[in-house]
Structure 1
Amino acid sequence: MLKGERVTLRGIRRDDLPKLCEFNNDLAVELAGGGDPPIPQSLERLQAEFDQNAAKGGRDGTWFAIEADGKFIGQCGLVGFDIFQGVARVCELGIAIGDKEYWGRGYGRETIALLLDYAFRYWNLHRVWLRTNSRNERAIRCYQSCGFVEEGRLRGHEWYDGSYIDTLCMGILREEWEHIKKQD
């Protein structure tokens, strides 16, 4: 478990699934995430997928539940690791705060700070990157406040609520994170 002042990152549990299903079927939450078109998801399918993965045993990986005030409010994680050849040491960060009561109040920023600390300190990564849709100004401000910089723009890359929009690629290097940590 990773603990911040207000946020705890822990493994996703089966009792989180009804709330996760609610988040996954909330159009505003899905549009904020960008990328794929919103697709409905039944609780039964989410539970079946969870049970199938749990039956494999082992560890939960680097995908976390976000908990605040004793409530499950979203999920986040590190995926797409390029570490096994020992060259790039890169991964992608993903985050979704599904509980809209927690939007715009610094919970995402604290979650990202915990994930970056985990990525650079414990995984010894060189770079963490993410992508977001260009209309998600709240997320872009959050990512920038955590030290991410725009590294590229895929023009007209995703269909969003009736039109094509750009996808932003943002990243942070280990030395940039270390500089931010020294200022804290």
Structure 2
Amino acid sequence: MIAWLNGPFGGGKTTLATTLQQELPGAVLFDAEEIGFLLRTVFPGKYKDFQDNPAWRPLVADFAVRCHEENDGQPVVIPMTLLRHDYATEIHGAIRAAGLPLRHLLLHADTDTVNARIDASVEFPDDEARSEKVRAFRRRKLPTYTEAYQGWLAADADVIDTTHLSPRQVADQALKILGAQ
């Protein structure tokens, strides 16, 4: 099984992914952003957003399938924000075409809650300027997330409203959706 964790930037995907990796027997964590970083190194400055690089999507899908195979069919957890329906359809469709079950979980919270979480986040404890740069990026992306949520995203995924939930409660709901509880 592939567990794709989607949601706003700063919405708790990595926290949930780490918990799922610990609690799903044999699960591995695949950060699809790493493929984006590699492509950004190979093609510096060519794409503002690495998700727009046409190579990124098939590479992510293929790597997810190969992780599943290499891990003897155990769960693969992928925390990655996908806000374009065509990109999600391409990646998820390729994974499913390979015969793998994919569960698309969406961690959603109201805008005020997401903004508060972004404001409280500290990505680089020793570099406040860098942390603020990350927070600014997340704030800029929030309207795009909201538009996707209202458009296609909520209908495409199993939604977990995290607005009033602790990370443990989010994990418990995710595990239930994934059939692990």
TM-score (norm: length of structure 2): 0.35
Write 1 or 2 for the structure with the bigger share of strand.
1
TM-score (norm: length of structure 1): 0.34
- Which one scores higher on RCO, CA 8 angstroms, separation ≥ 6? 2
Write 1 or 2 for the structure with the bigger share of helix.
2
